[in-house]
Structure 1
Amino acid sequence: MTEQGNIQYNTKGEKPLKGYQIVRVRNIAQSKEVLDNFKNAVLTILKNKTLSDEDPKWEQLLPQGIVNKIKQLDDNDKKYDEFLYSVNSSIDDYQRLRDWEWYSSIEVEKGFDIIVKGKFNSWKFINFIHCQNVPLDNIRIIDADKQEFYELKTIKDYTSYKILN
């Protein structure tokens, strides 16, 4: 199955035999919306591979639940919370630096898991989840092969002082 097919149809937490990581998000009330926005963002990026990261069309193509929140962030937010990026910077990273492929996801009460083949590179790709008012304390990256859990830390998580509409 293609990656687009995996995003749409592998929704029971299916796992490859090896070489995968789990992006685990917990304790958020709006988890279905956050997961759907992230899925739609990845699908949009996959469908528009030839569109330049600088093209202003991205702001219309990507889920507005992500774009509108990123627009509310100022330079200080991005200075102290290193997991925040502009839409164009995030698109550039997805197009150039991605070492992972979506394998499956699963919704749980107040959360979800995304299973990816490869290494998620959380410092680059967590933006589209984190910008949706998801505190970094509620996100873990689990390397299944090494059985290691990675916590995400920054100078100051913007969700500790600001909620985006």
Structure 2
Amino acid sequence: MIEINNIKYNIKGEKPSIGYEIIHVRGIYNAKEVLENFKSSVITILKNINLNDEDTRWEKLLPAGIVDKIKQLDDDNFKYDELLDYLDSTINNYQEIKEWEWYSSLEVENGFDIIVKGDFNAGQFISFIHCQNVPLANIRIVNADKNEYYELKTFKDYTTYKTLK
């Protein structure tokens, strides 16, 4: 599958000529781990695209660095931080409404970029990055065609009052 190969091998920030967005994540000490967990999650979902989003096997298939953190969140966290989502909801969104395709990534000091073809749908997919203790203030989406930056905001970013282990 082309997208899985892009995730594994396009790691120098390669960009398509048009129709892409860049997810900039900066200012985090564990950037490599966050990126690897996100990459692993996307690959796992692609390889198990027909597995029901509510299947309990997802908890074993997805990286512990994401699953364990989401399990520490409670209803208030999800209520006030609208960019967090339950595991099954994020998987379902990926299976049903994904409008983007992974193109490449690039590790930088204390951060990384993910380049996607199409529109990232941040509201549905940022949870797997954000739940890893990445403040929304450290994430920015860039629409390359329009040269527009989108900052992510929520009623109350859980990282301002809680650190997940």
TMscore range, shorter length: over 0.9
1:152 alignment partner in structure 2: 152
Q: For structure 2, list consecutive stretches of 5 or more residues without a partner in the other structure.
A: none
Shift, 1:57, TM fit:
0.3
Quick check: 1:61 aligned with 2:96?
A: no
Structure 1 partner of 2:31 = 31
- State the alpha-carbon separation in 2 of the partners of residues 80 and 10 from structure 1: 36
Count of residues in correspondence between the two structures:
165
DSSP-derived class of the 1:55 partner: coil
Aligned residue identity for 1:27: G
SS of the residue corresponding to residue 94 of structure 1 reads helix
Shift of 1:100: 0.1
1:8 and 2:8 equivalent?
yes
> Which residue type is aligned with residue 85 of structure 1?
D
What does 1:104-123 align with in structure 2 at a 5 Å threshold? 104-123=104-123
Give runs of ≥4 in structure 1 deviating > 4 Å.
none
Q: Which whole-Å CA distance do the structure 2 matches of 1:37 and 1:125 have between them?
A: 13
Report the aligned-residue RMSD: 0.6
Q: What's the % identity of the aligned pairs?
A: 65
Counterpart residue identity of residue 160, structure 1: T
Shift of 1:53: 0.5
Structure 1 residues without counterparts, runs of 5 or longer:
none
Deviation at 1:9, TM superposition (A): 0.1
Q: Deviations over 1:45-80 (max 9, x none)?
A: 000011000101000000000000000000000000
TM-score w.r.t. structure 2 length? 0.99
